[in-house]
Structure 1
């Protein structure tokens, strides 16, 4: 049975944004140790768009830029690149440098980090430089190769860090291209490991969504998986997202992305295709989240007041919409969701 195309960039991006400290602790502990986590961190998506070289230079959906505070009180900026592809990219080092110097131009203290999720063992870019007539440049950046964790599988299984599960999901999604049955088996194994970890209910929900999003299955196998998961949840009285809620999220995502593509094409005809597509994709993601919020609320609480949905539809901040989507799956009543809306202003 043929497997659907895997979604790597967005699950990585979402997991890093939600769990930046655990991400750094797992992959780059020397960076994690520099940060004063009591002050939190700030995702700078708009600023990242300003420094991105553009699609013609290989812009990646998985890239993230964060503002953090060092333990000495000074601000610092983390520029994280998630490179997911199946072949060598000879422009990657240069692109890393371009992102870095453009970010440095604005923010100064910048740390560039790379996660290499490709399937080429010998491709390990770690720097960029040149020399010309006595003028030279050398730029180095820390990088992690996900393939290296294949030999550390038992350590991944025993790790309490949620990114161990994400690495396993990434590797097995990659390894099961063209083999949907095997992917379904590994997806089930990893979901059971997720339940066995000492995570909060919210953490289980978030990481289940990431695993489910990455390890896509044909509809027949997905239905079988949903049925098995529902029984597993009932036996342990440990619900995450019900089948209908999961389907609502997927429906909302697809509807929003389709609308985004249409808006992007229309805008592209008027002001330039590339710019329109970029805006359309962003609006599509926002609309996908709004639709998913409404569907999850209806699935859990029945008819939803129109005024409440209108307030959701007016929100254009991606982080606020993501918080509302998580809240829709977690709150006990519509009244609790309204309180969350009030909290967000």
Structure 2
């Protein structure tokens, strides 16, 4: 079992959106208490994407921005960073500062910046960024929650009725059983049984089960054992959660397949457009260049390349243009 088999970012994004008030209540009670929860809040993912694509972040961070209303009647934005893969990042504090001031600069809204750290380094706790030059000082201090700390407060996780008690337990045990699939199976069963017995609503049980099942990936044979044990437990408790979950998963799988098919069709159209323009302008396009273009899975990059294919005067210069936009990773012969 390797770290690559566990997908952390998508489950965290989903569970934060589903239980945003409970998320703040659990991890950041001071922020929670200044917000007027009788008024609707709104996630602003488009605004976040416009800040910067930031390819270097990759799949290591979950970023969410929500517009909320404060108890004093003013609007504010809550910017959440979750370091989901648990890796030390020396530029993390600077990124927190950068995103905070960019949001303020673009929208003139006060921003509450918050960070969840899921790494395993006890002493890595970035909570501020500052610099001073020529008598001028700039700084940002931001609250953090370190998931590692909850290992010493396991009883608290077991006793809380907040959904993020289950979420944190699942995350920690996923990390702890990376190369111990049998242990992961037992912990997964333990957490799901706890979830079923917790008194949560049917909807909450299904949503939190999805989170657990999503991140606590098991090898095929152990996944079958998990399903068998789960069905037996469900029958003993006269519950019908698993059937509902399986039906939901099947439907989502169909929908995801359709979405992926559409996305791949759009990407292939983008690749074909670039190649067709090059072939029209330069008659012959090197096979290595065609292969490189067909290997691109970024629609925004394909748009840039299409503009380049239209305007750049030679095939050699286009090859260099492509290299420049792929960090020089593609070599041509």
Common fold: TM-score over 0.5: yes
Give the match's secondary structure for 2:241: coil
Q: Which residue of 2 aligns with 1:78?
A: 78
- Cα distance, 1:26 vs. partner? 0.6
Q: Which residue of 2 aligns with 1:220?
A: 221
Q: Which residue of 1 aligns with 2:279?
A: none
Q: Which residue of 1 aligns with 2:65?
A: 65
- Cα distance, 1:182 vs. partner? 0.5
Contact 1:117 1:146 in 2 (8 A): yes
Contact 2:87 2:118 in 1 (8 A): no
Q: Distance in 1 between matches of 2:270 and 2:96?
A: 28
Residue 115 to residue 2, structure 1, CA distance change in 2 (3 Å): closer
Q: Distance in 1 between matches of 2:236 and 2:211?
A: 23
TM-superposition CA deviations, 1:142-191 (whole Å, max 9, x none): 11100000000111111111101110100000000011110111011111
Is it true that 1:25 corresponds to 2:25 in the alignment?
A: yes
Residue 158 to residue 255, structure 1, CA distance change in 2 (3 Å): same
Q: Distance in 2 between matches of 1:139 and 1:229?
A: 47
Contact 2:9 2:59 in 1 (8 A): no
Contact 2:267 2:298 in 1 (8 A): no
Q: Which residue of 1 aligns with 2:147?
A: 146
Q: Which residue of 1 aligns with 2:281?
A: none
Contact 2:116 2:146 in 1 (8 A): yes
RMSD of aligned Cα (Å): 2.6
Give the match's secondary structure for 1:62: strand
Contact 2:61 2:83 in 1 (8 A): no
TM-superposition CA deviations, 1:10-29 (whole Å, max 9, x none): 11111110111111111100
Q: Distance in 2 between matches of 1:63 and 1:248?
A: 28
Q: Which residue of 1 aligns with 2:103?
A: 103
Residue 274 to residue 149, structure 1, CA distance change in 2 (3 Å): same
Residue 46 to residue 159, structure 1, CA distance change in 2 (3 Å): same
Contact 1:268 1:274 in 2 (8 A): no
Q: Distance in 2 between matches of 1:256 and 1:61?
A: 27
Residue 87 to residue 276, structure 1, CA distance change in 2 (3 Å): same
Range with greater deviation from structure 2 (227-236 or 259-268): 259-268
Give the 5 Å matches for 1:82-97: 82-97=82-97
Q: Which residue of 2 aligns with 1:187?
A: 188
Range with greater deviation from structure 2 (56-65 or 169-178): 56-65
Residue 244 to residue 194, structure 1, CA distance change in 2 (3 Å): closer
Q: Which residue of 2 aligns with 1:39?
A: 39
Contact 2:231 2:242 in 1 (8 A): no
Q: Distance in 2 between matches of 1:165 and 1:186?
A: 12
Range with greater deviation from structure 2 (129-138 or 110-119): 129-138
Q: Which residue of 1 aligns with 2:299?
A: 276
Contact 1:266 1:276 in 2 (8 A): no
Contact 2:61 2:81 in 1 (8 A): no
Contact 1:92 1:125 in 2 (8 A): yes
Q: Which residue of 2 aligns with 1:5?
A: 5
Contact 1:65 1:77 in 2 (8 A): yes
Q: Distance in 1 between matches of 2:173 and 2:265?
A: 35
5+ unaligned residues in a row in structure 1: which ranges? 280-345
Q: Which residue of 1 aligns with 2:264?
A: 262
Q: Which residue of 1 aligns with 2:166?
A: 165
Q: Which residue of 2 aligns with 1:211?
A: 212
Contact 2:234 2:242 in 1 (8 A): no
Contact 1:35 1:69 in 2 (8 A): yes
Residue 254 to residue 119, structure 1, CA distance change in 2 (3 Å): farther
Q: Distance in 1 between matches of 2:193 and 2:137?
A: 52
Q: Distance in 2 between matches of 1:77 and 1:2?
A: 36
Q: Distance in 1 between matches of 2:230 and 2:103?
A: 44
Contact 2:60 2:85 in 1 (8 A): no
Q: Which of these two proteins has the greater Rg computed from alpha carbons?
A: 2
Contact 2:170 2:191 in 1 (8 A): yes
Contact 1:26 1:161 in 2 (8 A): yes
Q: Distance in 2 between matches of 1:141 and 1:278?
A: 34
- Cα distance, 1:99 vs. partner? 1.0
